[in-house]
Chains A and B, each alone.
Chain A
Amino acid sequence: MAASIADVRSALSIPGHVTPNRLQQVKKQPSQSVKKPEGISRELYSLIGPSAPSLAAQLAKPRLKQKPNLGGGGKVKWEWRNFKNGARSDSLELGHWVKASVDPDSEYPFAKYNVQPTNYIWSPDEYARHLEDPEWTQEETEYLFNLVQEYDMRWFVIFDRYEYPRGEKEAGRAIEDLKERYFSVCRKLIRNRTWADENLKTHLQNLMQYDKDREQMRKRYLTSLDNRTPDQLQEEEALFIEIKRLEQNERKFKREREELLRIIAGIEAGLPDIADEDASVSLSLDPKRRKKGMDFEIPATPILTAPVMKKPQSYKNAAHDAQHCIIRNEPSGTTPATKAAHTPSYMRSYKLPVPKAAIAPRVTQILAELGIQHNRLVMPTKDNCALLESLLETTTALVETRKVVDKADYEIKVLKSQLEVRENEDEGDGTASVGEIDDSDVFETQKNGRGESIGSTRSTRNRKLCRRSMSTSSVDTSVTLPVRAVKRQKRA
């Protein structure tokens, strides 16, 4: 851009910032010439300048592949030096080879591994106040503590080397006795001393916990495990295989059932309890844990309770629901809570009420007259769904009522025409026909009653019709029923 401006200036012959530009270029020159590409002689380069860089690669001499430099360059000087070990209390000087670069006054690198465990010592007064034990003398306790210190709490070794002279009648001490004495003394000492840091105190006390009875029980279990005869072992093995087989069958069965449920009921969500049962069964029967003898230390309950899935906590709280706009549909209490009754989640609009198949066309027709499409709601909210449902219900009732009314009208017409015929013929035997009408009338009445109960029709015209038909039919029945009864008695 700058160049183009300069061009414009020169073209327009405007004197301006030409001089500083030139100076900069002059300054840059020497720094570029420093980078002389290899393979071009100095004279040639000074002639052609930096304008032929593409040639440089071809001009470079071919060379062999560079040897890798693995040593990091240069030789390392080693020297034989005597050293003193900081972990030693005497003045022994041993010699070893070290790099000459290492500081001769530096500490011996392995001295830091000489870590001594903390030793607990007590005053006679302290012993008298806290540590008295009828089973132990102070001397023996001190002997034990020295051994523990000497063998760094390796209890098996301590027990092996424990040779405190005791009375003939006293039995030798078991490893648990030694451990219990040591830990109890430590606990008491920690408890009765003042500590700057309470956390450290509780931490140390936790470290010193020891339950002799528990340990002895554990050892007895181990012994009984170890003393199993080959027959028992074999039986155990057979039982274990049997359990595995059963478990496998169970799992297979469950898998198949789940598959079926998925196909039939469309349950996509997992069935949590199936996984649960598997987990708890396999945990409780894991033989390796049993054989290792470790499980006696681990309490059994947490393992078994841990994998049980937590059911989503039900907030039955009405206030909570209102706050979060949650509306609960109570599941029907009658159906048992089995897999078969499981209802997957669904959209509300999927479950819109459908009119009865027999009268569906007429309902649709009526709704169409009103300009409503009953099988699709633009906004299927809960209220809208309820409204649609009641609308469909009333429409159905209306259709039914109208059907009844039509029928009644027709009956009345027929009866009137019959009456006219009879009046014309004057006298005649009409009992049979009356009976027939009777029957149909009873039927009508019942139907009417039902219609009344179901529907609360809104159109006044319908109501009027209804009333009329009711009155007629009731009159009819009241008249005809006794007649019929008399007739039947006569026949009998």
Chain B
Amino acid sequence: MVTYGGDEVSALVLDIGTSSVRAGYAGDDSPKAIIPTQYGFIPPSSDQDVDMGDNSDSTEKPKGARSFIGEAGPSLFRPGMQIGNPMSDTLIQDFGPIPALVRHVLQDSMRVNPSEHPILVTEPAWNTPENRERMAEIMFEEFQVPAFYIANTGVLNTFAAGKGSALVVDVGQSVASVIPVVDGFVLRKGVAYSNLPKLVAAHARHILLGNNIDLIPHQLIASKTPVEPNMPPQYAVREDKIPGVTDSWRQWYEDRAVEEWTQNMGGILEQGWNDQLAIQRPARQYEFPTGFNTFFGPDRFHVGELFFFHKPNLVASNSSLPRHIPALISDSLRACDIELRQVLMGNVVVTGGGTLFSGFTDRLHNELVRSFPHVKIHAPGNPVERRYGAWLGGSILASLGTFHQLWISKEEWMEHGKGIVAQRCK
């Protein structure tokens, strides 16, 4: 065991993302508990008495609202339930529900006592000092953890790929980022990120709405009958539930429908955009919750193309268009020392659920190899590893024997206060 440098102290790893919260033991190869970051809540003004499911969690929100966290939180229909997300652009904007989320994932899903385990939390490269200090405060004050550390997702993704230096291309649910990591440190000047996935989702929604497709979720459908492709759907809506649907829940389920469609249908042409090739690709059938089903041809590839290329008219019409991935990479490299280019391009790590589009890695390679002949891309084939790369890196880091000197202990927290976080977690 010593030969691998590992020494497990039963640490926990907590990775809070925009779409899901991942938690597990350090030393494992995949997180033990994954719950959505979105949560449902019913404001206190609502006087309806709702029967919660067995597996839903209820904790008191600061406002006194009832909140529903976990797998059965937002996805279960409850009249008047609204959907909230503490994350915005991968940063925690609202710390109110964070303790409840953490408590749910640690105590209710993993069934561990946080006061017995050191905990490693992840943060994006552009996290603010206030945010990480607040996170440390929550961990020490609310969960009484014996030791705490906050590590950068870029660095952790590098470690998950078994490297010390890498250019991490991370496409999440709301942000696509390119992070240069050298010797286990993020080069902050080279960090480049944009809300590209949101643009992709908006485009997908635009395509679906352009085809007059109803994005009604299965929760609101009482019955449906099978129909031929492209025929109008025949379904009955749960009229009793319709009055209880809130705007935020409607937004959530529509987003989810679009996301599902994108995940199933979206693709990327490996050799760059070509109308002929896009038409030649076989069309795929997709059935929506209403029973409506149809075939999608080149539209599928229009969605993925946005990751790599923006049409000039689109750029002209929208000045604040998020940068696509090749632009992010070149921006990031330009900010780095010229000597590092060779190192970084030889170690491109592709991670995040947004990179699971079919053809994403090939296309990226084709784009990069034009300007960097020695480019080498590391993309885990296992989808779990690809989506939870940061968690995996945290799991590796927190189980290393040499890492244990870096923990911020409770004693140090009491002694030095918030300053210790910036001092220790560089």
- Which residues of A are interface residues toward B (Cβ below 8 A)? 85, 87-88, 90-92, 94-97, 108-111, 113-114, 150-151, 154, 156-157, 159-161, 175, 219, 222-223, 226
Contact = CB atoms under 8 A, between A and B. Distances in A.
A206 B426 CA distance: 31
A92 B407 contact: yes
B188 A161 contact: yes
Given A156-B337, A160-B187, A161-B188, A95 B10 contact: yes
B338 interface: yes
A113 B352 CA distance: 33
Contacts of A222: 338-339
Given A87-B405, A151-B185, A160-B188, A94 B147 contact: yes
B404 A85 contact: yes
A109 B10 contact: no
Question: Which residue, of B188, B190, B409, has the highest number of chain A Cβ atoms within 10 A?
Answer: B409
B183 interface: yes
Contacts of A91: 409, 411
B96 to A, nearest CB: 30
A109 B1 CA distance: 11
B7 A96 contact: yes
B409 A90 contact: yes
Nearest to B399: A96
A111 B147 CA distance: 18
Contact of A160 (B146, B185, B338, B409): B185
B407 to A, nearest CB: 6
Contacts of B127: none
B182 A110 contact: no
B182 A157 contact: yes
B137 interface: no
Contacts of A157: 182-183, 185, 187
A276 B118 CA distance: 65
Interface in B361-390: none
9 contacts: A92-B146, A92-B147, A94-B404, A96-B9, A110-B7, A114-B405, A151-B426, A156-B182, A157-B182
B200 to A, nearest CB: 30
Interface residues of B, number: 33
Given A94-B404, A110-B7, A157-B187, 4 more contacts: A92-B147, A151-B185, A161-B188, A222-B338
8 pairs of A and B residues whose beta carbons are closest in the complex: A110-B401, A92-B409, A87-B405, A94-B9, A157-B185, A160-B187, A90-B411, A110-B402
Question: Which residue, of B2, B8, B185, B410, has the highest number of chain A Cβ atoms within 10 A?
Answer: B185
B256 interface: no
Given A109-B2, A161-B188, A88 B426 contact: no
Interface in B1-38: 2, 5, 7-10
Given A90-B409, A92-B146, A92-B411, A223 B183 contact: no
A157 to B, nearest CB: 4
A219 B9 contact: no
A94 B405 contact: no
B332 to A, nearest CB: 12
B189 A160 contact: yes
Contacts of B188: 160-161
